[in-house]
Amino acid sequence: MRTPNIKASIRKWCIAVLLCAVGALPVLAQGAQKVDDAALRNAAASGDTWLTYGHDYAETHYSPLNQINASNAGHLGLAWYFQTSSDPGTEESVPIVSNGTMYFTVTWGALYAVDARTGHLKWTWDPDIVHHNFPPGSLGNPSKVRTGPSVCCGPGNRGVAVYDGKVYIGTLDARLVALDAETGKVVWEVQTADKNADYSITGAPRIVRGNVIIGNAGGEYAVRGYVTAYNAETGKQVWRFYTVPGDPSKPFENKAMKMAAKTWHGDWYKMGGGGNPWDSFSYDPKLNLLYIGTGQGGPWVIKYRSPNDGDNLFICSIIAVRPDTGKYVWHFQTTPGDEWDYDSVQGMILADIKINGKVRHVLMQAPKNGFFYVLDRKTGKFISGAAIGKVTWAKGLNPKTGRPIYNPDAYYDTTSKTVWPGPAGEHVWPAMSFNPSTGLVYIPGIDTSFDYIAAPTFKYELGVYNWGIVFQRPTPAPGRPATPPPAARPGGFLVAWDPVTETQRWRLPLMNGGGTLTTAGNLVFGASASGDFEAFNADDGKELWKVKLFPGFASPMTYTLDGKQYVSVLAGRTGKSRIYTFALDANEPIPPSPFGGAASSAAPPPEQPHQPNQR
């Protein structure tokens, strides 16, 4: 009898197992979606993922998913939630979901990656930023050293971008950072502005044709705004487009800056001029146009910014450029010569709508100034516009050009003038959304006023707000600038706006606690200022479902995994925010407040997920 060769048998078995494993690798790899240019171009067609801030290049905040719909939304329940350890501040991030992982940011730019099925933490990254500001009055004083970033309105961050295995985030100290999507390890980072300048980044990056597009904040400090494109693989700068002109005694960067300089006067360039693109970008792949929204002028008061007036291009504008080169194509200015802090950085939705029997390829925006604009997105030509709330700074818009018909009573100097809307804006960063089935745009807004009065004198200073106005405010703590101008919020609303007729279809009061999401299930999701997260019928605004969470919402999103649709939203203004994720017939208990008293002991500790049926 022949003795079997045990070692040879083991070798054959190991080789067979190895060959099977190697053969299975392509199958496993096929399960992961590569986020490339094609995936981003086609993002609108799929609801399985949420790959960019507005779900698609058109920034519609619309999903074609309809598993959750107007007939069954009442069966929504909590599937899981994730408790962060965020610091106080407004949560503004729209989560991104790619290959089963959810990426989102909280205050001060901390970044989390969690399992989108369960909320289980995969990794987290902290930008390690000092949580206080540059000492005021530091201009010309070398003994005062910057200890933290200059931020305007709290340490918010609106999220990340994903592309080719990386996650991209902008930070409050003006860095752009690329991290490995699987591990959270830094791949590269670049400083997008001088560390000693008053720039910060609060907006989510966008990826267009292999470039990471990022703007900056800082208009309150009167810096010079610009947009930069970086190579997504290497971090190398590809182009930069300034939104206001620089020193006219020096060569202009391009023809657009030469044109813009003709609308400015005096020594604006010594302060910067403002125009910061701190929030939204949209992209039309067919036209190959990137759309940029810009902020207010700095300082606010035009006599201190541009003494002989002028439109001050390109503050408060929408600008179209080529995404490969940054070359200027067209612009539309919503508030020429702005003196009221009427940024036009808000979401720009691209859509095809029928107007007067003709399909028009349009760009739609509801900026701070209170009007809703519809533009031809190829040419920038004005199509229509109307006020969505109370507006007193202008009597209307020129029907041919869209230029505002200014109200002389809204101009202020050292005598106070009350104007609607105030600097809080009729609509700011919370996302509006567009549903192609209803043809409606859903806008969270607010009617506010403000008493504007120019300061009798003005001196530019680094590290402090350079508004040029006077207002009542509490004395700032040492080393920190004063808080932004206060604005009452009694007039919050959610309006369903018809962009064809420029009229409202329906309006709900006090539903301005965060951004909106709309879906093919004939739903609109929104939030109240008091902490309710709700689903409404997209046609008529009828309430279908509501859950009490915690005040201070970002903008919601939706996705599917394993055939199940989920809806997620980040909430919690005063720190320790949570991601809440809902699904049909899910039944996890809504967690108690994470603050104070014995009730807080029932909540999970910071940075821990709450997972149903997990042991």
Active site residues: 341
| Phi/psi-derived region of residue 192, left when phi > 0, alpha when psi is between -120 and 50, beta in every other case | alpha
What φ, ψ does residue 103 adopt, rounded to 5°? -115, 130
- Distances, alpha carbon 544 to alpha carbons 74, 519, 536, 549, in Å: 6, 14, 5, 16
Structure tokens of 267?
């020594």
Structure tokens of 132?
């206080």
Nearest to residue 347, comparing CAs of 292, 307, 399? 292
- Give rounded-to-5 percent helix, strand, coil for the chain: 10, 35, 55
517-519 and 62-63 beta bridge pairing: parallel
Q: List, in sequence order, the alpha helices (H) in 164-289.
A: 255-261
DSSP string across 347-394: -EEEEEEEETTEEEEEEEE--TTSEEEEEETTT--EEEEEESS---SE
Structure tokens of 440?
């409606």
Rounded CA separation 347/357 (Å): 26
Rounded CA separation 504/523 (Å): 17
Nearest to residue 176, comparing CAs of 198, 197, 203, 154? 203
List the Cα angle 145/156/118 in 5-degree steps: 130
Rounded CA separation 425/448 (Å): 7
DSSP string across 295-341: --EESSSHHHH-TT----TTTTEEEEE-TTT--EEEEEESSTT--S-
Structural contact between residues 59 and 282, judged by C-beta atoms closer than 8 angstroms: yes
Which positions ≥6 away from 523 have C-beta within 8 Å?
Answer: 68, 69, 70, 73, 535, 536, 537, 538, 544
Which positions ≥6 away from 315 have C-beta within 8 Å?
Answer: 243, 244, 273, 274, 275, 294, 295, 296, 297, 333, 335, 338
433-435, strands of its sheet edge to edge: 433-435, 440-447, 491-498, 503-509
DSSP string across 19-85: HHHHHHHHHHHHTSPP-SHHHHHTGGG-SS-B-STTSSTT---EE---SS-TTTGGGEEEEEEEE--
Rounded CA separation 613/615 (Å): 7
Rounded CA separation 128/609 (Å): 23
